[in-house]
Amino acid sequence: MLDIVTPESVGLDSGQLARVGEHLAKCYVQPGKIPGSIALVARRGQVCYLDVQGLRDVERGTAMTADSILRIYSMSKPVTTLALMTLLERGLFSLDDRVDRFIPAWKGLRVRKGGSYPMFDTVPCRRPMTIRDLMMHTSGLTYDFMHASNVDAAYRKLRLGRLQEDYTLQDMIDQLAQLPLEFSPGERWNYSVATDVLGYLIEVISGQSLPDYMHSVIFEPLGMVDTAFQISADKVSRFASCYERNLQKQVVLSDDGQDSQF
């Protein structure tokens, strides 16, 4: 259980903080825009506000609780970047190191000029991709769901980065080695699989698997006992289902927390 102090004891106002829960209830939970919510405020290392409401499993009518386990999706990006920065602190790489220093198969990456998979017309990159580019999403990589070019169409065709049996980070790295970039590194910003590549670099540089490195360097020291890439059987009952809004703006189930495929 969390130890919760009064907001006033850490210099905050109870009345103002109460508005957080009221806002979530009025604007999101009660209108059915989201099934449930958890809001927590901490100051100076002390939790001073906790609001829990709604459901974590609509189909089963299970209430949201403070110890519910939820997917964090792309919030794993800052955690991955933090993990890599711990290796920077140890002097094991530089932000401006070329990525192909650690991924030799990426030497000579090219940029799409025209064409489509598998017959791309390409030109050389104006400069090599750096680790800084990956961190800043200026690498030239993309995501399959962008639907903006023939490069992301190739990602979709190859199911690059998608959940597949026995699919590994190494498989994704090998696929990317065979595909052109959207643009030369550093030219512009584009949301992408770059952080997945950072995860691969963590494995190469540290010599550990990404889950093991994150656990030993971040999660275990911080007491984050429920944060991991996989959920153990004894915790599944606390795992929240995932919902999304369809084109009709209805909240629909996208992943059953008690019968998840991933």
pLDDT confidence band for 100 (50 / 70 / 90): very high
Q: Is 2 contained in some domain?
A: no
CATH number at residue 151: 3.40.710.10
Whether the Cβ atoms of residue 125 and residue 185 lie closer than 8 Å to each other: yes
Q: What is the pLDDT of residue 2?
A: 86
- pLDDT tens for residues 165-191? 889 999 999 999 999 999 999 999 999
**For residue 185, which of 111, 123, 75 has the smallest C-alpha distance?**
111
Residue 226 placed within a domain = no
Judge if 175 and 128 occupy the same domain. Answer: yes
Query: What is the reported pLDDT for 244?
Result: 96
Q: Are residues 20 and 83 in the same domain?
A: no
Within this chain, do residues 122 and 40 fall inside the same structural domain, yes or no?
no
Average pLDDT value for residue range 244-255: 94
Judgement on whether residues 119 and 177 belong to the same structural domain of the protein: yes
Query: Are 102 and 52 within one domain?
Result: no
Instruction: Report the predicted TM-score, pTM, of the whole model to 2 decimal places.
Output: 0.93
| pLDDT digits 0-9 by tens, 60-92 | 999 999 999 999 999 999 999 999 999 999 999
Per residue, the 3-state secondary structure of the chain, as one string, reads CCCECCHHHHCCCHHHHHHHHHHHHHHHHCCCCCCEEEEEEEECCEEEEEEEEEEEECCCCEECCCCCECCCHHHHHHHHHHHHHHHHHCCCCCCCCEHHHCCHHHCCCEEEEEEECCEEEEEECCCCCEHHHHHHCCCCCCCHHHCCCHHHHHHHHHCCCCCCCCCCHHHHHHHHHCCCECCCCCCCCCCCCHHHHHHHHHHHHHCCCHHHHHHHHHHHHHCCCCCCCCCCHHHHHHECCEEEECCCCCEEEEECCCCCCC
pLDDT > 90 in the chain, percent: 95
Residue 222 placed within a domain: no
Give the model's confidence band at 163: pLDDT under 50 very low, under 70 low, under 90 confident, else very high: confident
Res 164: pLDDT: 83
**Does residue 183 form part of some domain?**
yes
- Domain identity same for 94 and 182: yes
What is the predicted pLDDT for the residue at 262?
78
> Is 261's pLDDT higher than 90?
no
Q: Are residues 166 and 199 in the same domain?
A: yes
> For residues 101 and 162, which has the higher predicted lDDT (pLDDT)?
101
Structural domain contains residue 140 = yes
pLDDT tens digit sequence for 19-52? 999 999 999 999 999 999 999 999 999 999 999 9
Clarify whether residues 62 and 80 are in a common domain.
no
Average pLDDT, stretch 224-233?
95
Could you tell me if 53 and 83 lie in one domain? no
For residues 137 and 205, membership in a common domain is answered with yes
The four Cα atoms 148, 152, 156, 162 give a dihedral, to 10 degrees, of: -110
- Whether residue 130 is found in the same domain as residue 208: yes
Q: Is residue 158 part of a domain?
A: yes
Is residue 80 domain-shared with residue 179, that is, in the same domain?
yes
Residue 28 domain boundaries? 7-69+232-255
Residue 220 lies in a domain: no
Task: Evaluate whether residue 223 is within a structural domain.
Answer: no
Q: Evaluate if residue 203 carries a pLDDT over 80.
A: yes
pLDDT at 1: 74
Q: Based on the structure, what is the number of domains in the chain?
A: 2
Cross-strand bridge partners of residue 110 = 124
* Tens digit of each residue's pLDDT (9 = 90 or more) over 119-160: 999 999 999 999 999 999 999 999 999 999 999 999 999 999
